[in-house]
């Protein structure tokens, strides 16, 4: 409850029925735009994977996956995915996709350890996407090119919604601004990472923050990243580290920064070994996924996730993600939202 914020005088621009219709418009339009811009084919995705293979996304490395035994598989434990960060790379490899082509899918997850607030829910839905790339394209310039294409999709979707609901006026700036996390830390040395994101998004409107997971000049990290999917340790140029980042925008309803997507160029054998060592978990190299990567058995890819409910929440100017998706919330949060005119689905 301490992180819940509902603006005074908040009134939804769309009623519940209009919102349900608009969610379909946002999702249908955006995924078509995304698949066209990045040459992505839609695939079907798993809800759960086998435990102990290293396939599930470890997020920050401390979140507990929801798991269960399977009677007909000799009590083999399966776990609900946190995301498909590593599964997608296996899929791209097994499909033998050429560089410049990739996949996207509807990913549904349960994150039991999530701290619930306006943006965070136990239920996660996102477009997980993965693009096969040439190893020579493991550069920050190539990453920026892909980010700009995704930002074009966001701009197109924003206009499409405005064309259907004229009260929802466009606010995204013409261009996205690229900022390195270490530069932002130097600019605001006494601020927390969230405060830095606030300042950057308030100033620029839309930001891609490069270098998430690696150590900053003061020894801290901007945010946690598992060591075995995004590359956050490789030199990205100009003295910076990291080939990954977060896409953030200024939310005009909440008056705060809002993350819409996280993405990055995936680790190769060298960066995987270096990141496992830096995180103090070299034993992961013996897991099935990691052994295949280290032996050269995986395609080089770039990928990420784009929050579906968050995207709808942003474009439809909602104050709480529960106005977009059906989840479970603490009783006191439901009461507080109701008192402020926020109806959770």
Catalytic, 111? Answer: yes
User: Of the listed 31, 35, 79, 111, which one is catalytic?
Assistant: 111
DSSP 8-class letter at 267: P
User: Of the listed 35, 126, 181, 261, which one is catalytic?
Assistant: 126
User: Of the listed 57, 114, 125, 228, which one is catalytic?
Assistant: 57
φ, ψ of residue 294 to 5 degrees: the values are -65, -25
Tell me if 104 sits within 8 A of 42, measured CB to CB: yes
Catalytic, 259? Answer: yes
Q: Is residue 66 classed exposed, middle or buried when 0-12, 13-18 and 19+ CB atoms within 10 A define those classes? A: middle
Bridge pairing between strands 76-80 and 48-50: antiparallel
Catalytic, 126? Answer: yes
User: Of the listed 33, 35, 121, 262, which one is catalytic?
Assistant: 262
Catalytic, 57? Answer: yes
Rounded to whole angstroms, the Cα distance separating 67 from 89 reads 22
Tell me if 323 sits within 8 A of 313, measured CB to CB: yes
Rounded to whole angstroms, the Cα distance separating 6 from 17 reads 22
User: Of the listed 259, 268, 292, 343, which one is catalytic?
Assistant: 259
H or E, element range at 288: helix 288-294
Rounded to whole angstroms, the Cα distance separating 225 from 219 reads 15
Q: In the beta sheet, which residues pair with residue 126? A: 107, 307
Report the Cα 341 to chain-centroid distance in Å: 29
Catalytic, 246? Answer: yes
Rounded to whole angstroms, the Cα distance separating 211 from 217 reads 12
Query: What three-state secondary structure class fits 42?
Result: strand
Rounded to whole angstroms, the Cα distance separating 131 from 129 reads 7
User: Of the listed 230, 246, 300, 308, which one is catalytic?
Assistant: 246
Residues 6+ apart with CB under 8 A from 227: 61, 213, 267, 272, 275, 276, 278, 279, 281, 284
Rounded to whole angstroms, the Cα distance separating 107 from 87 reads 11
| Catalytic sites, residue numbers | 57, 111, 126, 246, 259, 262
């Amino acid at each position: 409850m301490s992180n819940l914020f509902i603006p005074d005088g908040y009134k939804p621009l769309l009623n519940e029925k209009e919102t349900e219709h608009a969610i379909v418009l946002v999702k249908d339009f955006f995924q078509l735009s995304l698949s066209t811009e990045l040459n992505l084919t839609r695939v079907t995705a798993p809800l759960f994977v086998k435990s102990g293979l290293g396939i599930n996304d470890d997020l920050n490395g401390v979140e507990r996956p929801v798991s269960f035994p399977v009677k007909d598989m000799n009590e083999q434990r399966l776990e609900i995915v946190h995301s498909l960060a590593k599964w997608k790379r296996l899929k791209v490899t097994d499909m033998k996709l050429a560089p410049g082509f990739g996949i996207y899918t509807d990913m549904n997850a349960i994150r039991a350890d999530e701290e619930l607030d306006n943006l965070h829910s136990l239920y996660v839905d996102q477009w997980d996407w993965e693009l096969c790339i040439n190893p020579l394209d493991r550069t920050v310039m190539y990453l920026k090119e892909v980010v700009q294409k995704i930002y074009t999709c966001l701009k197109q979707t924003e206009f499409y919604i405005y064309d259907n609901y004229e009260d929802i006026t466009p606010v995204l700036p013409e261009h996205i601004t690229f900022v390195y996390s270490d530069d932002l830390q130097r600019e605001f040395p006494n601020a927390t990472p969230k405060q830095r994101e606030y300042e950057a998004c308030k100033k620029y409107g839309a930001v891609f923050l490069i270098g998430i997971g690696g150590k900053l000049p003061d020894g801290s990290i901007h945010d946690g990243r598992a060591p075995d999917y995004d590359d956050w340790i490789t030199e990205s140029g100009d003295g910076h580290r990291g080939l990954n980042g977060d896409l953030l925008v200024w939310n005009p309803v909440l008056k705060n920064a809002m993350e819409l997507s996280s993405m990055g160029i995936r680790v190769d054998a060298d960066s995987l070994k270096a990141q496992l060592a830096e995180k103090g978990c070299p034993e992961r190299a013996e897991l099935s996924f990691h052994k295949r990567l280290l032996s050269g058995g995986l395609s080089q890819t770039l990928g990420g996730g784009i929050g579906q409910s968050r995207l709808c929440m942003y474009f439809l100017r909602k104050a709480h993600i529960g106005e977009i998706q059906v989840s479970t919330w603490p009783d006191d949060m439901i009461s507080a939202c109701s008192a402020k005119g926020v109806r959770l689905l």
